[in-house]
Structure 1
Amino acid sequence: MRSTSSENETCILEFILLGFVNITQGKTFLAILFLTMYTVCFLGNSLILTMTVLSRSLHTPMYFFLGNLSFLDICYISVTVPKMLADLWAESPVISFMGCAAQLFFLVALVGTEGFLLASMALDRYFAICHPLGYTKLMNKYICLQLAAISWTCGFLNASLHTTLTFRLSFCQSNGISHFFCDIPPLLSISCSDTSVNEATLLTVGVFVGLSPFFFTLVSYTFILHAILSSRQKGQRHKAISTCASHLTVVILFYGSSIFTYVRPTSSYSLERDQLVGVLYSLLTPTLNPIIYSLRNKEVKLAMRKFLLRIPSLGI
């Protein structure tokens, strides 16, 4: 839908999400797949969040950050997946101008926040493994709260900047977004304004919000793996290597997809390729997070077992 001003400029009042438009077969399969992943992600992260709040044994820095990550993932999938499910069956999958702005804001905010949270978690593991004697002082409650606050603040400040710059542009030629949801690159590609400032800002800020936490996380895990390999206790060494490998898998999936999306020229945008990457960081990573970070952990399983045993006495 468009409205025309007195200067004969056409302004976009709503956008059409074209991600599913060309898909004529397999919609039922996609709907079941997305709904299953959404359910697994929502329930898994909700369970982890509940455990980290209710179980005293999980009131540690590591699970404090995992609780933050679980809450973030619940919000993250709720920003995109319900709309994606509705659009699968819509003849004209539209989203209002303000709805698109809100979706982009929260999407970018949560992506940025997750990057800093993953870096904070890597720092926590570095201190725990490489400096165990001073761990309680290095990662006390005050420092944990500061790191979490910095993570969320940086994420939302980043989103405020990009959302403001993106929706100050004019969209007068097309209102079709070649994606499942509103994101920066596809919006820049349909703007009739000069997007050079947006692209430069996206690349520059992306280095700080994306690449800096990524390299910090990789360096932290490099020191962690070195400390583990230097250990003489083979049993603990094998377990720690397995855990670090799982964590690094999630880190690489998340950072790889988000950096590929935001830290590159808009001219290289491709519908099919970027839709696949979009599914990776909007569905797969949040679904894997609770499984890899927490549900395989013995401490979480023990806390879960204790909680389930308490349910009858609570009258639930």
Structure 2
Amino acid sequence: MSTANHAHSATPVLDIKPINGNIGAELRGVALSGDLHPATLKAIQDAVYEHKVIFVRDQHHIDDAQQEAFGRLWGNLVGHPTVPSLGGTEAILDVDGARGERASSWHADITFLDAYPSVTILRPHTLPERGGDTLWGNTVAAYAELPKPLRDLADALWAEHSNLYDYVGDRGSVHKDGLKRFNEVFTSTIYETEHPLVAVHPVTGERTLIVGHFLRRLIGLGTSDSQRLIGIFNDHATRPENTVRWHWSLGDVAIWDNRATIHRAVDDYGDLPRVVRRTTVAGDAPVSVDGRRSVTRRVGEKPSLAA
């Protein structure tokens, strides 16, 4: 257990308890809000950058307005580019399992844009009586554990990310409303962005893999080689030793470094209700190990299926 001490006597001491060896910590002794003392905010930010995702229990006072106010302490809020924000909010995404919005494959939020979000804040609004956990993977640890030849290869590779991805993935079945929403809303505008496979984190200086389901292909490689290598890098990010699983309770808030993690909601709750509300904080375009920045190459309509 570690504690974050602050010079200001009015600032509470935060109790930070790591969950796993490589990722995740529970933060105790703080009530999140939009008017936190700067030293308290700095301690929370340091915990996120160290542990990649932190969980704060018993935040029952947090509503939509408070969630956004807390998010603004981190930077400008940014909504989803194709999915409308929840009515009455600036940039809260209401993720409702009943609409088929189940996020049940590994991803980092909105990597199909060049400057994708830096930080994500998530709280449950309605929870199933069983199931509905979320998993996170540490993409910094994944990069660090690669054998040197694979690290050298990863450092040199660039990848295309798009919101027009394999929605079905490894799922045995797909909620029909989710597929409909994917086709009509999520992919109403198509984005294609080139990212380095390895980015240098702007705060920690660590090298991190940009992987997940929006990664469509490795540039300059054939389809077969590309998919095999993508599988290798994704596998390292999702190894049990690099992951943490959180079982939600109402009042929980999760805060994670979207530039150093991927995550996945577990779709094991059938027709039970599950609604979570997500806030994302604007980020800058990632920088490769040789100093080049990501760039969005295409924004436009979905390709026609006509012959």
State TM-score, norm by structure 2.
0.26
Higher relative contact order (CA 8 A, sep 6+): 2
Structure having the higher helix fraction is 1
State TM-score, norm by structure 1.
0.26
Structure having the higher strand fraction is 2
